[in-house]
Amino acid sequence: PFYVLINLFPIEATKQNKMNRSRIRHPPTSMRRILLALLLLLSCNLAVAFQSNAPTTHRTTTTTKSADTKQMQMYVDIQESALRDIGTMDEWATSCGVQRCEGFQLTPTKEQPVLEVGVVTATDLPNGSPVLFVPNAMCLSSRESLQEIGRIEAAEKRLVSAKAAEHVPQFYLFLKILIEFEKGDQSPWFPWFNALPRYYANGSSMTPFCFDCLPPLASSLAMGERIKFIQFFQALRYVDFLSDNVKTSKDLAKWAFAALYTRGFPTPDGDFKIAPMADMFDHSADPEVSLQYDEEGNCVVYSCKDVPAGSPLRLSYGDSTNPTQLFARYGFLDESSEASFCKIMISQPSKQLVDMGYAQNRMLFYKNTGEISQEVWDVLLYQILTSDPNVQDQFYQAHMNGDYQTKQAIHDHYFAQTSVALNNHVNTFLKDLDNLQKKGVGKDVNEHPRLPLIMQHNEFVKQTFLAVQAQLAQYSSSS
């Protein structure tokens, strides 16, 4: 029944204006109802694992414009205060072939400052249970967007010259979102667009003041997202099939960019895809479900452990040891992360430093215990030994050859110097954090709505560093 229901998503590809674009053709409503009823009768005994729940309803807000055909069309209101229409999207997903396990529920996870929606299960889910099926025809793909649109060499050259070549595939999916937005309610994805957030707190949505309130790594990562957005926006000038109103609207481009990078994920085969409804799963460092695509391109989600009724269903969005990266890309703070990067920034680490363990997912401070990963000690000592190249090389060779005894002997000999260096880093960083926090004091949240999240991020980092500071004090007293 999965593959039969896919045909309810009516997309017919045609040629238009010398480019391959999708023209959406809806069958008559009566025919759709008849087809849906027949297919549900056929599939009710075969698709027991996937059942739909009654939708959660939230009020919709859209704007209307007069189309060239002199018919009134609905367009998604992208104002940050616009409400999300979750109920209509839920009904649309069911009619398009999305299938859910019994107990699958969309539920608000946060009401203020804007509505945020996640997924919970009302029934027990054993490990390996099917949770969600989204047919391929509903999914948005960077690879298929490129095939549909065709290469835009001038735009690609603009991105390559801006050192954004690796993001060219995502640019075509960005264009696909804008194409479908311009169709208004004539796009089959309109109900999904109208259920998406309008307000984002990720790096591309931040202001210069936001960057100024963040510590160096967070500021750099967030600013990188903002720069990438600007590169996409500037490349739109080379796209001739979008109206001027669409491709010159910075607010619209920002919304489309945020939707792209906060709802989509890379796939193992090199594609970048968004699966409507599957994009409702929140993140967790200890996820309950995993997402993959089958050979036909359908999105399938399964539980990856036993999940009791009443529990949230969440995915892993990425490396849980780097909550700052998630903060910059997605605009939320992952407080479930047990460890985070120690914030020792080396702009161009040598091969030897990388071999010693210099990486953001290896040089870790642990939030609850204040423990320090071995890589932090190794990298710091290797840098200290720059003044003695012979010992530095001996230390490096011992590390590479697994000579623990020699390596530990060098660590013991230089422990005082390494501890001082690490203490200086922690104390300096804490002082800088205090200065950053002061910048936000007394600011109007209405003028800087992302400031509370930034302050929360900085406080999270501060508590981690305070735990490390206490641990270092214990090391000093015991030695």
Measured in whole angstroms, the distance separating CA 364 from the mean position of its chain's CA atoms is: 22
**What is residue 135's predicted lDDT score, i.e. its pLDDT?**
98
**What is residue 322's predicted lDDT score, i.e. its pLDDT?**
81
Task: Calculate the dihedral angle through the C-alpha atoms of 49, 50, 54, 60, rounding to the nearest 10 degrees.
Answer: 150
Residue pointed to by tokens 């423990």: 371
Q: Write out the two tokens for 347.
A: 């702009």
158-167, Cβ contacts within 8 angstroms, sequence gap of 24 or more: 158/231, 158/234, 158/235, 158/238, 159/231, 159/232, 159/235, 162/231, 162/234, 164/228, 164/231, 167/228, 167/231, 167/232
Q: Report the distance separating Cα 410 and Cα 158, nearest Å.
A: 51
Question: Would you call 24 helix, strand, or coil by DSSP?
Answer: strand
Q: Write out the two tokens for 134.
A: 């989204």
Cβ-in-10-Å burial (0-12, 13-18, 19+) of 21 comes to middle
Bridge-based pairing of strands 364-366 and 339-341 is antiparallel
Phi, psi values for residue 57, rounded to 5°: -105, 135
**What is residue 115's predicted lDDT score, i.e. its pLDDT?**
83
Q: Report the distance separating Cα 180 and Cα 189, nearest Å.
A: 7
Tens-digit pLDDT string for the chain (479 aa): 333 333 333 332 222 332 232 322 333 445 444 444 444 443 333 233 333 333 333 334 455 444 443 456 789 999 999 999 999 999 999 999 999 999 999 999 887 777 899 999 999 999 999 999 999 999 999 999 999 999 999 999 999 999 999 999 999 999 999 999 999 999 999 999 999 999 999 999 999 999 999 999 999 999 999 999 999 999 999 999 999 999 999 999 999 999 999 999 999 999 999 999 999 999 999 999 999 999 999 999 999 999 999 999 999 998 888 899 999 999 999 988 889 999 999 989 999 999 999 999 999 999 999 999 999 999 999 999 999 999 999 999 999 999 999 999 999 999 999 999 999 999 999 999 999 999 999 999 999 999 999 999 999 999 999 999 999 999 888 76
**Cβ–Cβ < 8 Å for 284, 260:** no
Please, which residues bridge with residue 372 across strands?
Answer: 365
Secondary structure letter of residue 114 according to DSSP: S
Residue 451 falls in which region: left (phi positive, over 0), alpha (psi -120 to 50) or beta: alpha
**Cβ–Cβ < 8 Å for 370, 338:** no
For 180, the enclosing helix (H) or strand (E) is helix 168-182
Q: What angle do CA 367, 200, 143 make, to 5 degrees?
A: 100
Q: Report the distance separating Cα 306 and Cα 303, nearest Å.
A: 7
**What is residue 111's predicted lDDT score, i.e. its pLDDT?**
76
**What is residue 71's predicted lDDT score, i.e. its pLDDT?**
56
Sequence-ordered list of residues with C-beta below 8 angstroms from that of 364, at least 6 positions apart, any chain: 321, 339, 340, 341, 342, 372, 373, 375, 376
Q: Report the distance separating Cα 294 and Cα 473, nearest Å.
A: 52
Q: Write out the two tokens for 394.
A: 């001996």
**CB hemisphere CA count around 469 (13 angstroms):** 14
Secondary structure letter of residue 185 according to DSSP: G
**What is residue 479's predicted lDDT score, i.e. its pLDDT?**
66
**What is residue 284's predicted lDDT score, i.e. its pLDDT?**
93
Is it true that the peptide bond before 113 is cis, omega within 30 degrees of 0?
yes
**What is residue 62's predicted lDDT score, i.e. its pLDDT?**
53
How many C-beta atoms surround the C-beta of residue 406 within 10 A?
14
**H helical segments located in 264-342:** 323-330
Please, which residues bridge with residue 272 across strands?
Answer: 266
The one-letter amino acid at 200: Y
Rg (CA), the chain: 26
